[in-house]
Structure 1
Amino acid sequence: MISTSDFGSTPSGENVKLFTLSNKNGVQAKITNYGGILTSFIAPMEGVDREMVLGFDTLQEYTSKNYLDNYPYFGALIGRFGNRIDHGKVTINGKELQLSCNHSPHHLHGGNIGFDRKVWKAKVVNDSELHLSYLSVDGEENFPGNVNTTVIYSLSDENELQIKYEATTDKTTPINLTQHSYFNLSDSCSNILDHELQIDANYLLETNDFLIPSGKLLNVENTCFDFRTKKTINQDIEDIENYDDCFAFGETTKTPRKVAELISPDKKVSMEVITTFPGLQVYTGKYISAGEKRRFEAFAGVALEAQGYPDAPNHPSFKHGWLEPGEIYKQQTNYKLIF
């Protein structure tokens, strides 16, 4: 079932809605068409609704200056290109193109105003599917081509929040769509350091101090990045202070496969990450500082962003990161609660 309510107006006066997806088990996912943000993902546990994501109850909190000054992208859809592009530069047909650089000196998450801050057209298709669509016009954030994007949110009776991405373009353009929720499965306001995490990845992208890939893959064996066997997030975090890394699974797949699992400290709930994407950006949230009514600080949540590799257009060996006219970009990520 999907219910609809008002969620306020943007500073420019656009009306925004909030859509509540519910299944037969009492699980709910709340999504607004401002930025496609997942504001809430709750499960009824022992008579109490347990919140699984970081988010706010009002649109004003998402659009406030204080929030945007240290912007963590809570729960938002990210595009046209998620993660980083080295100095915002890509080459198309031998011509260098300069994208906006909003994370000095690089391009991050679509630029100054990406998909995360757009009001998407919303359509409730049936009892379980919410369709969000957005036209990114040629030249937006200096990206080439008109890109039509549709994201379908659905909630199954198996407690699986499914996110399906589709996009087309009329000019060759970089693309990397993702969803930027931060998860915290605990029954309190504690941080995520005591959560257990398991990731089915043998390799990690090598990056520099600005998190720009070198093009090389590093074997995780005998490193603090080895999550092939589940362990608490804090087990090895002192060695690096914070995880903000892209784990590599290889090629994009046609059907989603399980790539990771997050487990609450009390072991009463876990969440599987199931995706077609070739990578998973794991950010443990050291620099979170957001919210007024609901205040979130360092390590309040962990972002598990299934996506293509950062800076992929500048690395032919990554074999993705572009969308051509006549192609249909298709990806899917599912977040499945088990309790």
Structure 2
Amino acid sequence: MIQTQTFSHTNTNVKRYVLTNKNGVCAKITNYGAILTSLKIPLKSGDRDIVLGFDSLEDYQSKAYLKDYPYFGAIIGRFANRINLGKVTIDAKEIQLSTNHGKHLLHGGHSGFDKRVWDAEIIGESKLQLSLDSEDGDQNFPGNMKINIIYELNDENELAIYYSATCDKTSPINLTSHSYFNFTGGKENILNHQLQIDSDKILENNSELIPTGNYIEVNNTAFDFRDLKQIKQNIAQVENYDNCYVLKTEGKNLMKVAELYEESSNIRMEISTDFPGLQLYTGKFINVEGNKKFGPFSGVALETQAFPDAPNQPNFSDGFIHPGEIYEQQTRYQFHF
């Protein structure tokens, strides 16, 4: 079942769509930024919201939120994560993209897909489609790109996100969902959550979190999450995880790649995807002024995506979409409670 609600005091084009399955799992999505604003799990103690988000458009546009902008729950594009110096080369021509993270591009530039109003259409009892046209020159990306996102909440307690896009010129592309999870509902931070990631390698970064093109084996390091362990177990060595894990999805349509578990709530989430990478961000720098609920480590982001700076790294899949191609990816989050 899907219901439509008002989400803004002033903008009538912005709505919130409430997807509820037969078990009482409830996902709320707004067509502003295609944001997953809420995901409630029905526990014996009551419904628990397990993602970070707000109840109105005005909260997402407030100065307090945008000052240290954490991208709560948004669909990110055209290119998630970082592009070094905001520069790419296409057909021997260097293109300077929008730079919004020091001298680099982060999450699509100054005005990415996370700040756009999408067209919304309910296409079934459990499916919401969100569509966006990104015009040629948007954040200086080339080509007219058409993007479709479908959220589906099924009765197996699985929230699926289907990504698709086309473009009439060669353009960088890397779409992701930037949801932060906290299975305590904000009563505690996420450091006691247990995490498992099926990955033997992470991308090596420089000091500005730009990939060098090399890989690091996780064996005998703080980055090893091949077995379920508490996030806090090795965090003193790294201070904060903000790393792209190399998944084993190549040549596979869909596979389980990660699991998140919290003991006191007994909530377990399994992530399946066909993306090649998973960005783990433990949220040390979350800071919404005046809101104690949204501070350091208040949520963990597990962003399935292509590799950051892929257009500039010959060792990575190229990170481009070409005319005539259809970009298609999917990620599924299944909940057990």
TM-score by length of 2: 0.97
Q: How does 1:193-204 map to 2 (within 5 A)?
A: 193-204=191-202
- Per the TM alignment, residue 31 of structure 1 is displaced from its structure 2 partner at its CA by 0.2
Contact 1:244 1:282 in 2 (8 A): yes
Give, in angstroms, the shift of residue 190 of structure 1: 0.3
Distance 2:185 2:78 in 1: 35
Unaligned runs of 5+ in 1: none
Verify: 1:168 aligned to 2:166, yes or no: yes
In structure 1, the partner of 2:91 is 93
Distance across 2 between alignment mates of 1:291 and 1:16: 25
Q: Helix, strand or coil: the match of 1:236? A: helix
The alpha-carbon distance between structure 1 residues 157 and 169, as it changes in their structure 2 partners (threshold 3 A), is same
Q: Please tell me whether the aligned partners of residues 56 and 294 of structure 1 are also in contact (alpha carbons under 8 angstroms).
A: no
SS of 1:167 mapped into structure 2: strand
For 1:53 and 1:292, locate their aligned partners in 2 and report how far apart those are by CA, in whole Å: 19
Q: Is the 8 A contact 1:61 1:291 kept in 2?
A: no
- Aligned counterpart for 1:274 among listed residues 272, 275, 287: 272
Rounded to whole Å, the distance in 2 between the matches of 1:100 and 1:293 is 30
Change in 2 beyond 3 A, CA 1:187/1:105: closer
Closer, same or farther: CA 301–254 of 1 in aligned 2, 3 Å: same
Q: Secondary structure at the match of 1:235?
A: helix
Contact 1:203 1:219 (C-alpha < 8 Å) held by counterparts = yes
Task: Report the RMSD for the aligned CA atoms in angstroms.
Answer: 1.3
- Count of equivalent residues: 337
Task: Check whether the contact 2:186–2:298 (CA below 8 A) recurs between aligned residues.
Answer: no
Instruction: Determine the structure 2 residue equivalent to 1:140.
Output: 138
| TM superposition shift of 1:256 | 1.8
TM value normalised by structure 1 = 0.97
> Aligned partners of 2:299, 2:187: CA distance in 1, in Å?
10
Amino acid at match of 1:200: D
1:328 pairs with 2:323: no
Superposed counterparts of 1:56-67, under 5 Å: 56-67=54-65
**1:64-110 CA distance string (max 9 Å, x none):** 11211110000000000000000001000001110011000100000
What one-letter code is carried by the residue in structure 2 that aligns with 1:241? Answer: E
Give the match for residue 52 of structure 2: 54
Cα distance in 1 between the residues matched to 2:118 and 2:173: 18
What residue ranges of structure 2 are gaps of 5+ in the alignment? none
Q: CA deviation at 1:316?
A: 2.1
1:318 maps to 316
Cα pair distance change 1:188/1:85, threshold 3 Å: closer
Report what 1:210 is aligned to: 208
Q: Partner amino acid for 1:103? A: H
| Runs of 4+ in structure 1 over 3 Å off | 250-254, 291-295
